[in-house]
């Protein structure tokens, strides 16, 4: 969809003490930003995985539930995923082939997961062996299929994940907590929060569920995303995403801001790979702020008009 490319053009502003040059992940026009152009963060799995919506050999009920569970399980494994025949030109494609037969009191289930790149070239195969309660299997139990997907997703994710592919000049000793994104319509709170965690983890940032007592008191250890969607204007509506980097006491160290127009209501449902496009664009700027963890709070600069 053409509006995917439009939202991929979200411009980025960054404010932090002594920032110097500003990252420009998507290179907007000169009047939008000043500073040195930098390349976008590229990761082996940044294009995401498109999970084919039909599992070959499964009933429609099992197929739909298993695809949904696998999309979530891959996301939990820090790989962007969506149920579609294709996501974008960088997407990997995942197909499932299933066979099941009664063996004793259980159903023996074999699932062959086939992962190919955007050009259809094989990337990897994973054969998953499962035993399922016949009753749960017949009624396509969401609990059962979620467990199956959670056991299969790590092996699939491992085909395209590389640990620490993005170097970090200043190692971060503090633990970083990504707070739930606020104000996002649709499933943006879940999708966008998960997406920024994905790119931070790939950038060697120690992301935790909650800040531990062992964190250094003066270290930055919270990232908070806030989404503002404005009123429609001629079929489009403005969207602004603000990423705040906070110290444990809640004081702000710096922020990165993104903004553009999207078709009215385009983000009211699933965000899928849009969340990863936004997070991918914002991560270099967030990393720029995190690299300045020792900057005095009083010297930090905020954008004009910010609270």
Tell me which of 3.40.50, 2.40.33, 2.40.10, 3.30.420 is the CATH number of domain 2-43+167-299. 3.40.50
Give the pLDDT confidence score for residue 97 in this predicted structure.
94
Give the pLDDT confidence score for residue 26 in this predicted structure.
30
**Distance of alpha carbon 86 from alpha carbon 135, whole angstroms:** 33
Q: pLDDT tens for residues 268-283?
A: 988 866 787 788 888 8
What phi, psi does 98 have (nearest 5°)? -125, 145
How much of the chain, in percent, has pLDDT values that exceed 70? 69
Give the pLDDT confidence score for residue 181 in this predicted structure.
95
How many Å is the Cα radius of gyration of the chain? 21
- What are the sequence ranges of the domains in the chain? 2-43+167-299, 49-158
Cβ of 23: how many Cβ atoms within 10 Å?
Answer: 26
**Does 49-158 match 2-43+167-299 at the fold level?**
no
**Distance of alpha carbon 243 from alpha carbon 199, whole angstroms:** 14
Give the pLDDT confidence score for residue 18 in this predicted structure.
34
pTM attached to this predicted model: 0.51
**Does 295 have pLDDT greater than 60?**
no
Q: pLDDT tens for residues 44-84?
A: 344 578 899 999 999 999 999 999 999 999 888 878 888 87
Give the pLDDT confidence score for residue 207 in this predicted structure.
85
Give the pLDDT confidence score for residue 152 in this predicted structure.
93
Residues pairing with 263 in the sheet: 236
Question: Read out DSSP for 132-186?
Answer: E-HHHHHTT-HHHHHHHHHHHHHHHHHTT--TT-S--SS---S-EEEPPPBS-ST
How much of the chain, in percent, has pLDDT values that exceed 90? 31
Q: pLDDT tens for residues 169-191?
A: 444 556 788 999 999 999 899 88
195 versus 70: the higher-pLDDT residue is 70
Least confident of 21-25, 126-130, 192-196: 21-25
CATH topology of domain 49-158: Double Stranded RNA Binding Domain (3.30.160)
Band of pLDDT at residue 225, cut at 50, 70 and 90: very high
């Amino acid at each position: 969809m053409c509006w995917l490319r439009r939202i991929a053009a979200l411009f980025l502003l960054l404010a932090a003490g002594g920032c110097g040059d500003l990252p420009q992940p998507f290179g907007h026009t000169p009047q939008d930003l000043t500073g040195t152009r930098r390349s976008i963060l590229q990761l082996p799995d940044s294009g995401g995985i498109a999970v084919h919506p039909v599992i070959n050999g499964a009933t429609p009920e099992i197929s739909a539930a298993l695809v949904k569970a696998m999309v979530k399980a891959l996301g939990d494994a820090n790989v962007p995923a969506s149920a579609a025949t294709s996501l974008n030109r960088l997407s990997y494609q995942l197909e499932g082939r299933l066979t099941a037969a009664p063996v004793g009191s259980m159903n023996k289930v074999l699932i062959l997961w086939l992962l190919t790149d955007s050009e259809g070239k094989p990337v990897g195969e994973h054969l998953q062996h499962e035993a399922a309660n016949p009753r749960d299997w017949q009624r396509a139990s969401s609990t059962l299929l979620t467990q199956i997907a959670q056991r299969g997703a790590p092996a699939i994710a491992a085909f395209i994940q590389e640990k620490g592919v993005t170097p970090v000049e200043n190692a971060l000793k503090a633990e970083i907590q990504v707070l739930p994104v606020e104000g996002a319509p649709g499933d943006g709170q879940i999708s966008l929060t998960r997406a920024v965690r994905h790119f931070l983890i790939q950038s060697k940032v120690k992301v935790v569920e909650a800040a531990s007592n062992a964190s250094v008191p003066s270290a930055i250890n919270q990232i908070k995303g806030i989404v503002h969607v404005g009123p429609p204007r001629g079929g489009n509506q403005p969207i602004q995403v603000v990423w705040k980097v906070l110290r444990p006491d809640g004081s702000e160290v710096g922020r990165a801001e993104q903004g553009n127009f999207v078709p009215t209501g385009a983000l009211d449902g699933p965000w899928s790979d849009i969340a990863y496009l936004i997070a991918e664009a914002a991560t270099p700027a967030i990393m720029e702020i995190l690299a300045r963890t020792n900057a005095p709070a009083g010297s930090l600069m905020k954008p004009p008009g910010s609270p």
